[in-house]
Amino acid sequence: MITETLDTAPARPAARPYRQNPRSLTHPPRTGLLLVLPAVIFVSVFVLAPLLVAVYISLTNFPLIGDYRFIGLENYVQAFTDPAFGWSILYTLIYTALVTLPILLLGYTLAVLVRSNRRGAKVLRTVFFIPYVVGLTTLSFLMVLEAQPDSGMINLILKWIGLTDGSTAWLVDGTLGTILICVLVVWGVSGLTMMLLMSGMQGIPSDVYESAELDGAGWWRTERHITLPMLRRTIALSLIISVIGSFLAFTQFFILTQGGPGSQTTTVVMAIYKRAFVQLQLGAATAMSLLLVVIIGLVTAAQFWLLREKD
C-alpha cells in the first residue's frame, strides 16, 4: 500500500478589514481645500469684492470727481422714475427682439449648408465666420463709410435697384439707424451661431439619419423630428448668448448713431455710459448697472425655464 503525502501551503493570515479613520469623517482632506483655494481667491478678489464696492457706490452720490456722501436708495428710485432710462430699457428690448430670431435662423441655415464634409464646405465656413472674427467695431466703422448719403455703397445699390433716390441719410433717422444696425449685427454675429449649431449637428450620430432615410423621411421631416430636438440645448445656448449680447449692445450704437437723434437709439449700456462719463454721476450709473444685471438674470432664467427639456 502506497501512501502519498501532500504538502499543504501554510494558510495566509486573513486580511484585516479596512477601517476608515474616524478623523477623516469630521475633517475633510486638506488637499481638496488647497486645490480650490486659488479659484476661491480669484473669485473673491475679482468678482465678490468689486461687486460689494459697486453696491456701496450705488448707495452714494459718488461723482467721478469730487466728494461724495451716502444717500441710500435714492439712485435706484431715480432710475425707476427716469423716463430716459425707461426708454433705454424699452428700446433695448425692441432691439433684442429684432435681432435674436434672425440671428438664430440665419445661423441655422448656414450651419445646414456647411455641416457636411462636401467639397467647399470648409471654405464656406471660413467665409461665413470671418465677419464675427473681424468684430463689430471694425464692421461698424465700415458701415459708417458705406451708409453715407451721397457716396456710400448702400445708397448706390438701392438707387441702382430703384428703391431709393440714392440720398437716404441712414444715420440721422432713428428708425433707419435701427434697421441698419440690426442688419449689421445679424450679419456680424450669425457666424458664431453657425459654428455652435454646426458643432451640435456634427455630434448627432449618422446612424439616426440613415435610419430616417430608410424609413422614407424627407429633409424637412428629418430636420424637424431629429435635428431640432437633438439640438435643443445648443439652440438654447445660442439664444442666451444672443440675448445677453443684445442687452449689452454698445459699440455699434456708439459708432454709428451715438444714441441719436436725441435718445431714439440709446440702449441701456449707452445710457449708463452717458450717466457715468458725460454727466459724471458714477453712483447713479452704478445703480443702473446693477439693475441691468438683475434684468439680464431674470431674462436668462426665463429662457432656461422656457427652453427646459420637458419629460
Domain segments of the chain: what residues?
A: 82-306
Residue 70: strand pairing partners? 60
Tens of pLDDT, residues 31-89: 878 889 999 999 999 999 999 999 999 999 998 778 889 999 999 999 999 999 999 99
Length of the chain counted residue by residue: 311
The whole-number pLDDT of residue 26 equals 54
Instruction: Report the percentage of the chain scoring pLDDT > 90.
Output: 57
| Per-residue pLDDT, 241 | 94
**CATH code assigned to 82-306:** 1.10.3720.10
Residues 259/270, Cβ–Cβ less than 8 Å: yes
Model confidence over 85-111: pLDDT tens digits? Answer: 999 999 999 999 999 999 999 999 999
CA 238 to chain centre: 7
What pTM did the predictor assign?
0.84
| Mean of pLDDT over the chain | 87
Please report, for residues 88, 138, 168, 267, the alpha-carbon distance to residue 260 in angstroms, rounded to integers and kept in the order given.
12, 20, 16, 10
